[in-house]
């Protein structure tokens, strides 16, 4: 029928149902002998057909299934299943004073459900971050040594780059490339950690003025992170000039080749390039007849070729 409703029976109880356009229903899956199987799901009624079937648009993926039989309807109110049932035929939520209304504490729910966060997500700072926090709370009137200076000094006997390796393990940073070669350049996260350490060292320099005896934090940091003095001196200024970002600059000539860029061709094919290319061609022609030349002349041509190359 071409109206706005359809009637039929649901499940084994064979209770009559009444469908209208826009009603939400749960459709059971169906195995077909010819063609792909029908997955079913939860959706709303779109339209009705004269043979008693109807079209359904499922909530997931906005998938539309046509000519659905009324016998595949498993529920007439799938969105009300989350409410508590006081009886098999009632979907009303029980009263707060009812003994059936039992709420579980949040602590019990958090202990029973597995958390997707790591165990150290709420355990406080670790590694260098913990040392920097202790250094910020340190005062020149404290009897103990500064935590950051002590940590860098204790690492002198360790291998070069020991702090970078420990931070990489803690932060999940790969120090080896896909081809098996070690990664020399620092990542964005490693650069940010290095900037914070240098900042704390500069702050301590203003407080202490003169470093204690046998204390050289910059040299110790170079050994701990495996970087040079130029990197330590420029990392903070580069961080400020780069708009407080540790991301690397992108090249301005990305995608430009000698085939699609006139500027690239002029930079590559200079007059000096043409001169060297002409000299190489000339030397190859002369060396092709070197077998008939005297030994001294042949050696002079070899010397000229080496100078040009």
Per-residue model confidence (pLDDT) at position 7? 57
CB 297 within 8 A of CB 305: no
Per-residue model confidence (pLDDT) at position 288? 63
Q: What is the DSSP string of 108-145?
A: HHHHHSPPSS-TTTTS---THHHHHHHHHT--TT-SSP
**Spatial CA neighbour of 41 closest among 25, 18, 19, 17:** 25
- Cα 160 to chain centroid distance, Å, stands at 28
Phi, psi angles (nearest 5°) of residue 297: -65, -35
Per-residue model confidence (pLDDT) at position 251? 75
Phi, psi angles (nearest 5°) of residue 8: 180, -155
CB 194 within 8 A of CB 186: yes
What distance in Å separates the CA atoms of residue 143 and residue 283, rounded to the nearest whole number?
A: 76
**Spatial CA neighbour of 218 closest among 194, 198, 240, 246:** 198
What distance in Å separates the CA atoms of residue 309 and residue 146, rounded to the nearest whole number?
A: 57
What is the three-class DSSP state of 64?
strand
DSSP-derived letter for residue 176 is B
Per-residue model confidence (pLDDT) at position 114? 42
Could you tell me where the DSSP H helices lie in 172-291? Answer: 188-208, 217-225, 229-241, 262-268, 271-288
Per-residue model confidence (pLDDT) at position 1? 43
- Cα 126 to chain centroid distance, Å, stands at 21
Per-residue model confidence (pLDDT) at position 155? 92
Per-residue pLDDT tens digits of the chain, which is 309 residues long = 444 555 555 444 444 566 788 888 888 888 887 778 888 888 888 888 888 888 988 887 778 888 888 888 887 766 554 444 444 444 455 555 545 455 544 444 444 444 444 444 445 688 899 999 999 999 888 888 899 999 999 999 999 999 999 999 988 988 888 888 888 888 888 999 999 999 999 999 888 878 888 889 999 999 999 999 888 888 888 888 888 787 777 777 788 888 888 888 888 888 888 888 888 877 777 666 555 566 666 666 555 555 555
Per-residue model confidence (pLDDT) at position 35? 77
- Cα 47 to chain centroid distance, Å, stands at 44
CB atoms closer than 10 angstroms to residue 149: 22
Q: Look at the chain and count its residues.
A: 309
pTM for the model stands at 0.46
């Amino acid at each position: 029928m071409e109206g706005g409703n359809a009637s039929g029976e649901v499940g084994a109880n064979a209770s009559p149902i009444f469908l209208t356009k826009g009603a939400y229903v749960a459709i059971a899956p169906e195995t077909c002998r010819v063609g792909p199987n029908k997955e079913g799901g939860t959706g709303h009624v779109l339209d009705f057909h004269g043979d008693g079937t109807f079209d359904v648009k499922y909530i997931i993926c906005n998938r539309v299934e046509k000519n659905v039989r009324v016998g595949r309807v498993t529920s007439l109110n799938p969105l009300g299943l989350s409410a508590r049932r006081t009886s098999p035929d009632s979907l009303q939520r029980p009263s707060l004073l009812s003994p059936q209304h039992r709420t579980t504490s949040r602590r019990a729910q958090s202990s029973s459900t597995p958390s997707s966060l790591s165990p150290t997500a709420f355990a406080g700072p670790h590694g260098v971050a913990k040392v920097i926090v202790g250094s910020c709370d340190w005062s020149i009137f404290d009897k103990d040594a500064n935590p950051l200076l002590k940590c860098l000094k204790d690492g002198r006997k360790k291998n070069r780059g020991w702090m970078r390796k420990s931070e990489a393990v803690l932060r999940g940073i790969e120090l080896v490339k896909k081809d098996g070669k070690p990664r020399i350049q620092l990542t964005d996260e490693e650069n940010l950690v290095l900037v914070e350490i240098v900042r704390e060292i500069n702050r301590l320099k203003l407080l202490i003025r003169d470093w204690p005896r046998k204390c050289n934090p910059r040299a110790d940091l170079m050994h701990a992170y495996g970087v040079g003095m130029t990197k330590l001196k420029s990392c903070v200024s580069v961080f400020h000039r780069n708009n407080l970002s540790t991301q690397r600059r992108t090249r301005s000539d990305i995608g430009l080749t000698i085939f699609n860029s006139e500027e690239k061709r002029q930079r590559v094919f200079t007059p000096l390039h043409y001169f060297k290319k002409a000299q190489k061609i000339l030397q190859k022609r002369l060396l092709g007849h070197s077998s008939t030349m005297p030994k001294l002349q042949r050696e002079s041509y070899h010397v000229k070729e080496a100078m040009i190359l």
